Structure 1
Amino acid sequence: MNIPFITCARQGLLAALCFSALGTAMSVHAEAIPRGSQYDGRMQQVDYNPRNVSVVNVSAGYVTTLIFDDDEAVTTADAGFPAAWEITPKANRVTVRARPIEQGAPGADGNTEKVVIPPNSKDWRTNLLVVTNKRIYSLDLNVIDDNSRTKPAYVIMYRYPKEIANRVSQEQLKQQQALMKQAEEARTEKALESSQIPRNWDYTKRVGQNSSQIVPDVAWDDGRFTFLGFSPQKKIPSLFELNGDQEQIVNSSAQRKGDYTILVVHSLMPKLVLRSGKAVVEVENKGYGKIRVADGTTVSPQVERVEKLDDN
C-alpha cells in the first residue's frame, strides 16, 4: 500500500515528529555554499564567518563529516529536526546522517499501521547549531534527492581566513625581524673591521662552587672601560675590585645589548670579584696595562667587540 507522507503544512504530522519551523522563510538569506575540491566535488571547503549560515547537502544512506579547526572541541551539536537527523560530535568533528522516520497511518482495515518514510529533500530541511570551545556554527541541513545535480558533501572542512591572515602577518614580522638582525650584525661586523681603536678581550675567570649562575658570558675593555656581558638566564652580581686581600665595591652601570645585560665599569683593573649571595667568581684582566687609550679619546659608538671568556 502506497501511503504518501503528510507534511506539517497540509494536515499536521504527529507533534513528536513535526518541526514547527519547516515553513519557507520569506526573507533573503546569505548562505555560505561550500566549494568542492578540484579532485572530487564531494570533498568540500567553506570559509568560516560567524554571520553566515553554511549549507550542508547530504545524500540519504551516506554520512557527512564536518571538520573544524585543529584546536577546537565540539561541546554541543543540535539539529532542529532530531527525529530525522543523527548528529554525532567527536573532538573537532561532527558527523551528520539523514535517517528515516516511522509514522502511524490508518490502514485499509482501519487499524493504525507503521509506515517508514525515507529522507527526502522536501521534508527533511532543518538547521544545525554547533558550539565549540572557540566558535559557534550555524548550518542548514538538506537532503539531496538521487536525481539532483547538486553534489552531496562527504566532508566539509572549515577555513579561517582571519586566523590565516594573522599567521601570515606574524610570519612576515618574524622574517622582517630576522632580516633586521642580520643587517645589524652585518653593520657591526663592518664597524669592527674598519675600527682602529685598540681593544682587549684577554680575560679569564675562576668560578667558585655553585656559582655558574653569575659567570659573565663575555668580557672585554676598550682601553678605558671594562665590560661584562650576561645572557638572560644569568643573575647580575655585585662587583668588587680586588686589591691584595681586600675587596672594595665597584660602581657600574647597566646597558642592554640585544639579549645581553652589559655591566660597564668606568675604569680598568687587573681583577674583579663578582658576588651574589654565596656565589663568587673572579675575573682577571690578562691584558691589563698592555693597551690603553688617553682620556677623551673617542670610542666608536657603533660597536663594542664581544669575545667569549677563556676558562683559567
Structure 2
Amino acid sequence: MRATALATALAVLCVGSSGAHAYDVPGWSGDSRVRQVVYRQDEVVRVIAQRGFATHIALDPAEHILVVAPGDRDGWQVVANRGDHDVYLKPQLAAHDTNLEIRTDRHSYSFDLVVLPLRARFGNDDEMYRITFVYPDVEAAKTKTTDAAALVRERLDQPPRVRNSAYSMQVMPHSEDIAPTAAWDDGRFTYIRIPNNRRIPAIFRVADDDSESVVDRHMEDDVIVVHEVARRFVLRLGKEVVGLWNDAFDVDGVPPADGTTVSGVKRVLRSDGHE
C-alpha cells in the first residue's frame, strides 16, 4: 500500500487538552476487531494494530480531512486523501508505538497508535480492523430535528380551529343529498361537512351582484375545505341546489401572521438554501 501524503500531512499537531487521556475502545457488533467510539474532543483514542494488517479509521462522512500527522512516519504507513473522511493505517516491521493527529473541517482527533509484538497471535482480541465514530452533538441535533418535525406534523394534523360556526342554508326541493351537515370557518378557510355516503357538489362563491365563481378547494375526510371565506356560497350538482350563508362574515378575516393558520407553526420560504 502506497502512502498518499497530504499537503500538510507531516505537520505536528498538539493534543487539545493537558487533561486528555488515552482510553480503550470496546468492541461492538459481536466482533472485537470492529470498534465504535463516542467522539469527545478532549480524549485520545487508543488504536491497536498488528504488523501486516491494515486498520481503517472511518470518520463522519459529512466531514473532510485537512491534515493527517503521524508521529512515526517511517514505521507507520498512513494513507489519507485531503477532502476524504477515511484514514488507513498499517504498521511496518520497524514500527513502534506513536501517535496520530487528524484535523478535519469539523473535528480534531488524537490517537495513540500501539503495535502488537511480532509474535502476536493472528485473530487475537486486541487488534483493530475498523474504527467508527458516533457524534453526540450530531445525534442530539438529529433528535431535536425529528422531535420538531413530529411536533409540526402533530399540530398540522389537529382539527381546524372553529372561529365562526354561524352558518345557515337553504335547501332547494329535491336537493337534500348535497345538503351539508355542518359548516364553519377559521377566518381564512371555510369547512363544509358532507357525509361520505353522499355525492360531492361543485361549490361556487356568490358575489354581491349574484354572479358565481368557482372556488379552490380540497377534501379532508368528509369535509370540503374551501380556500377562502365568503358571505355566501352555492352548492350545485345537476339540478340540485343548496345556498349557504355566512351569518357572521368578517371581511377582514384572520391573516396568517406566520404564513399558516395553524397555531405554533410558522411557514418559512426557502430559495437556494436560504430563508
- Find 2:167's aligned residue among 191, 197, 210: 197
Q: How many residues align?
A: 175
What corresponds to 2:193 in structure 1? none
| Alpha carbons 1:76, 1:89 under 8 Å: kept | no
Aligned sequence identity (%): 19
What corresponds to 2:229 in structure 1? 220
**CA distance 1:28–1:180, change in 2 (3 Å):** closer
**CA distance 1:152–1:139, change in 2 (3 Å):** same
Q: Does 1:162 align with 2:155?
A: no
Q: Does 1:31 align with 2:22?
A: yes
Q: Residues of 2 paired with 1:256 and 1:220: CA distance?
A: 13
- Find 1:40's aligned residue among 4, 21, 31: 31
Larger Rg: 1
CA shift for structure 1 position 29: 5.8
- Find 1:147's aligned residue among 120, 124, 127: 120
Q: Could you say what secondary structure the match of 2:255 adopts?
A: strand
| Alpha carbons 1:67, 1:155 under 8 Å: kept | yes
| Alpha carbons 1:72, 1:134 under 8 Å: kept | yes
The residue identity in structure 2 corresponding to 1:70 is: P
Q: Residues of 2 paired with 1:71 and 1:29: CA distance?
A: 25
Q: Residues of 2 paired with 1:224 and 1:196: CA distance?
A: 6
Q: Could you say what secondary structure the match of 1:175 adopts?
A: helix
Q: Could you say what secondary structure the match of 1:66 adopts?
A: strand
TM-score (norm. length: structure 1):
0.49
Summarize the alignment of residues 1-312 of structure 1 with structure 2, pairs less than 5 Å apart.
Answer: 30-90=21-81, 91-100=84-93, 118-119=94-95, 124-145=96-117, 146-147=119-120, 150-183=125-158, 185=159, 188=161, 191=162, 195-198=165-168, 202-203=204-205, 204=213, 218-221=227-230, 222-223=246-247, 225=249, 255-256=255-256, 259-260=259-260
The residue identity in structure 1 corresponding to 2:141 is: N
Question: Which structure 1 residue ranges, 5 or more long, are not aligned?
Answer: 1-26, 101-117, 207-216, 228-251, 262-312
What corresponds to 1:280 in structure 2? none
Q: Residues of 2 paired with 1:219 and 1:67: CA distance?
A: 55
The residue identity in structure 2 corresponding to 1:255 is: P
For each residue in 1:14-67, what CA deviation from the matched residue of structure 2 results, as whole angstroms up to 9, or x when unmatched? xxxxxxxxxxxxx98622322212321101111111100011110000000100
| Alpha carbons 1:34, 1:55 under 8 Å: kept | yes
TM-score (norm. length: structure 2):
0.55
Report the RMSD for the aligned CA atoms in angstroms: 3.1
Question: Which structure 2 residue ranges, 5 or more long, are not aligned?
Answer: 1-17, 169-182, 184-189, 191-202, 206-212, 216-225, 231-245, 262-275
Q: Could you say what secondary structure the match of 1:165 adopts?
A: helix
Q: Residues of 2 paired with 1:160 and 1:32: CA distance?
A: 17
The residue identity in structure 1 corresponding to 2:156 is: K
